A and B are shown apart, each in its own frame.
Chain A
Amino acid sequence: MAASIKHQLFFPHPPAAVWEFLTDAGLMELWLMKSDFMPIEGHEFQFRNKPVPQLDFDGIVYCKVLEVVPFKKLSYTWKLGPGDGTINVDSIVRWELQEKDNGTELLLVHGNFTVLENAGVFEAMNKGWLDNIHKIAERLNAQQHG
């Protein structure tokens, strides 16, 4: 399993209209979260959400704008933690807009969970589990047929 989240949507609107909703803090608040976002590379900002105690998430997402290509691309870091100054989740959110004949295709990729990917542990683990399950299945099959 790849440690990234992908969503793709089509909007019957030109890229400029969709872009506005991705980059204007006032409009972002209407659908995403309250923030002090500005579409300027290097700008540091925060999203404020409700805390999620069961996930050790204080509700604040710490971000930094990485890339701004007007009407085409936008990306920022996405870090969060329990509120004691430590970070549990370090990731990147990327938006890509593609102009179509009658609208805009919007792609969201939330990935680069760096703690996971640097380690390679996540993949190894999931593979390890899969192997174990295969072993168990083989053994069970052998018992049935043996």
Chain B
Amino acid sequence: MAEPRLDAFQVIADASRRQMLMMLSKNSLTINSLAENFDMSRPAVSKHIKILQSAGFISITDKGRERHCALRKEGFDALNEWLRYFDQFWESKLKTLENLLNDKLKTKN
């Protein structure tokens, strides 16, 4: 079954997924060792992991019988993208404000 594709903010809005990411920010872990830390069923853990993977936050590599999860940069790029978007947004809006106020000064003098 296909999981709904969530955006970066929806992905980290979930406390369990945030905790998973926090753990992976320290070390890459197998799905089994990750699951041990959570009081939920294996399918529930797998579902969260799939969501993290499809949003680009983690990668999963098969090593022998084990599946290893590690952080990926892409998920965080999406968050940075929002910040960049607003940074540029404000910069251009404030430029317009500056021009407006300067024009006002000119007409007054």
Contacts and interface: CB of A to CB of B under 8 A. Distances in A.
A and B: bona fide binding partners = yes
Interface of A: 1, 3, 5, 7, 9, 11-13, 17-18, 21, 30-32, 52, 55-56, 82, 86, 88-89, 108, 110, 113, 115-116, 119-122, 124-129, 132
20 contacts: A3-B79, A3-B83, A13-B105, A18-B101, A21-B97, A31-B93, A31-B100, A88-B10, A110-B86, A110-B90, A116-B12, A119-B18, A120-B22, A121-B22, A121-B25, A124-B25, A125-B76, A126-B76, A128-B24, A129-B71
Given A31-B100, A128-B26, A7 B90 contact: yes
B38 interface: no
A128 B96 CA distance: 38
A129 B28 CA distance: 12
Given A5-B87, A55-B82, A108-B90, A115 B22 contact: no
Contacts of A9: 94, 97-98
Contacts of A116: 12, 79
Contacts of A124: 21-22, 25
Interface of B: 7, 9-10, 12-13, 18, 21-22, 24-26, 71, 73, 76, 79-83, 85-87, 90-91, 93-94, 96-98, 100-101, 104-105
Nearest to B75: A125
A5 B21 contact: no
A30 B85 CA distance: 20
A8 B23 CA distance: 37
Given A7-B94, A9-B97, 8 more contacts: A3-B79, A7-B91, A30-B100, A32-B93, A110-B86, A125-B71, A128-B24, A129-B71
A115 B9 CA distance: 7
Contact of A115 (B13, B21, B83, B91): B13
A21 B22 contact: no
Contacts of B12: 115-116, 119, 121
A32 B95 CA distance: 10
